[in-house]
């Protein structure tokens, strides 16, 4: 794939959206024994296409390397499980899904979502490329195809008689290197009466709220409805409804049907398209301005950590999400400023964060250390985390959240 051309429309890429230097892959956790070995680093430089306005990172690694061993298990987040339960309840009611229906989920992870459809008697099939998480789903009784999704997988599933009433693709569209093959695969697999529900982080919210840390190598595309609608249309799919969600700092959920289906387009679609135009997503200034604003966030975060250290205050981290690595590496924060972070996922504990080499420990260690500040890396889950850590406040500690602006929460 040519890295200077737009992955959707093939136009020459234009302006810089965010140049975050170089960093390792965000899931390349380092074993403490390997601390002195050179890590593989790649540029993290997002650009915008002046023809279709797709913000994107060039592909720098084969997807096999990125996704074959994935440490993100969706079921470790309570907020996420709640979102999944609400999603399945609403979809079953809205589309009258029952014992004769089939739901296919693309990037089904550990079965966190399909388990709710399965429990209600709906036939389910997951498609998941990371073998270790797919095996967790299979052990739970969720049939899962271990594969990348695209035209080849869609054709295989169709040939095997799969006719989904509903295809779900939540938080995967932005993570596929070949976005055309992926959307063409959805179009192939979706029967004429079927519906696909697709969720992705909203570029408008990323810009509005300085979420530069959601830029990492595995996250190839940063999507607006304006661009997404063009991508679907090119593959014979039409967006019939759009809804704004609070997940991942602000996402869109679109309902997509084959073009020619008799579902009328909901007014939410033209409303969102005009909102994006008014925000400036079809002009270059908005993208240029973003590059300037993220430098201000960096200065505030670094200043806070240096000042805390100078005053003898302890700051420890919470969470080890991909976005945390972008933030820490871009700001040049290491264990000298953040001695360790903690994560509930046991697969990450005992390892070092890629690039920054900040150790990841168990949450109990954070409570025991009685820090003055807890620096929350997964800021999208801040309320859940602050509730879980009530003991920190009891000890007189406070919380710091870096995005959209550094905020101290006593």
Binding site for Zn ion (CB under 5 A): 6, 8-9, 11, 49, 51-52, 54
- Strands 251-258 and 237-245, by their bridges, are antiparallel
Helices (H) and strands (E) in the chain, counts: 14, 17
Report helix, strand and coil shares of the chain as percent, to nearest 5: 40, 20, 40
Torsions phi, psi of 168, nearest 5?
A: -115, 130
Whose Cβ is closer to Zn ion: residue 54's or residue 136's?
54
| Pairing status of strand 144-145 against strand 221-222 | unpaired
Which lies closer to Zn ion via its Cβ, residue 73 or residue 287? 287
Residue 352, phi then psi, degrees to nearest 5: -110, 145
CB of 226 to Zn ion, least distance (A): 11
CA-wise closest residue to 6 among 49, 42, 35: 49
What's the min distance (Å) between Cβ of 7 and Zn ion? Answer: 8
Tokens for 406, please give them.
């550094």
Q: What tokens appear for 362 in the block?
A: 């168990």
Report, in Å, the least distance between residue 180 CB and Zn ion: 11
- Nearest approach in angstroms of CB 280 to Zn ion is 17
How does DSSP classify residue 263?
Answer: P
Rounded to a whole number of angstroms, the minimum distance from the CB of residue 169 to Zn ion is: 21
Residue 188 exposed, middle or buried by CB count within 10 Å (0-12, 13-18, 19+): middle
How far apart CA 203 and CA 176 sit, in angstroms, is 16
State which residue, 54 or 392, has the beta carbon closest to Zn ion.
54
Alpha-carbon distance 78 to 98, whole Å?
26
Minimum CB separation from Zn ion for residue 222, in Å?
Answer: 12
Nearer to Zn ion, 230 or 388 (CB): 230
Measure the CA–CA gap between 300 and 303, rounded to whole angstroms: 5
Q: Which is nearer to Zn ion, 85 or 234 (CB)?
A: 234
Q: How far is the CB of 8 from Zn ion (least distance, A)?
A: 5
53 or 149, CB closer to Zn ion?
53
Q: Are 198 and 169 in contact (CB under 8 A)?
A: yes
Q: Shortest approach of Zn ion to residue 5 CB, angstroms?
A: 8
Would you say 128 or 276 has its CB closer to Zn ion? 276
Write the CB contacts of 262 (distance below 8 Å, at least 6 apart in sequence). none
- Where in 159-258 does DSSP place strands (E)? 166-170, 195-201, 221-222, 237-245, 251-258
Question: For Zn ion, which is the closer residue by CB, 54 or 113?
Answer: 54
Q: Reduce the DSSP state of residue 318 to 3 states and report it.
A: strand
In the bound state with Zn ion, the residue whose beta carbon lies nearer, of 88 and 227, is 227
**Closest approach of Zn ion to the CB of residue 1, in Å:** 13
As a whole number of angstroms, the distance between CA 357 and CA 350 comes to 11
């Amino acid at each position: 794939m040519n890295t200077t051309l737009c992955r959707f429309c093939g136009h020459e890429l234009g302006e810089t959206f965010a140049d975050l230097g170089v960093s390792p892959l965000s899931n390349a956790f380092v074993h403490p024994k390997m601390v002195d070995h050179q890590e593989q680093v790649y540029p993290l430089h997002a650009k915008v296409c002046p023809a279709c306005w797709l913000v994107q990172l060039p592909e720098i690694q084969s997807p096999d390397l990125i996704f074959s061993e994935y440490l993100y298990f969706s079921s470790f987040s309570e907020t996420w499980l709640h979102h999944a339960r609400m999603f399945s309840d609403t979809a079953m009611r809205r589309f009258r899904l029952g014992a004769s229906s089939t739901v296919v989920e693309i990037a089904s992870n550990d079965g966190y979502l399909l388990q709710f459809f399965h429990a209600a008697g709906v036939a389910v099939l997951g498609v998941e490329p990371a073998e270790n998480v797919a095996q967790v789903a299979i052990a739970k009784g969720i049939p899962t195809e271990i594969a990348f999704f695209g035209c080849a997988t869609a054709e295989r599933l169709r040939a095997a008689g799969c006719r989904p009433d509903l295809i779900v693709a939540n938080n995967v569209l932005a993570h596929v290197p070949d976005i055309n093959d992926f959307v063409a695969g959805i179009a192939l697999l979706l029967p004429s009466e079927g519906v696909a529900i697709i969720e992705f982080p909203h570029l408008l919210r990323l810009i509005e709220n300085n979420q530069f840390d959601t830029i990492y190598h595995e996250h190839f595309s940063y999507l607006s409805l304006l661009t997404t609608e063009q991508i679907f249309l090119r593959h014979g799919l039409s967006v019939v409804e759009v809804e704004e969600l609070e997940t991942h700092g602000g996402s869109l959920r679109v309902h997509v049907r084959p073009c020619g289906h008799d579902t009328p387009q909901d007014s939410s679609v033209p409303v969102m398209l005009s909102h994006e135009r008014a925000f400036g997503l079809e002009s270059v200034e908005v993208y240029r301005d973003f590059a300037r604003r993220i430098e201000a966030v960096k200065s505030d975060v670094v200043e806070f950590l240096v000042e805390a250290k100078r005053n003898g205050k302890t700051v420890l981290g919470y969470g080890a999400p991909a976005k945390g690595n972008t933030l820490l590496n871009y700001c040049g924060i290491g264990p000298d400023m953040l001695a360790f972070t903690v994560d509930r996922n046991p697969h990450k504990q005992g390892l070092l964060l890629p690039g920054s080499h900040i150790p990841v420990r168990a949450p109990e260690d954070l409570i025991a250390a009685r820090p003055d500040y807890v620096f929350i890396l997964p800021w999208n889950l801040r309320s859940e985390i602050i509730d879980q850590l009530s003991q920190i406040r009891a000890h007189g500690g406070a919380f710091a959240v870096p995005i959209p602006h550094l905020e101290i929460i006593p």
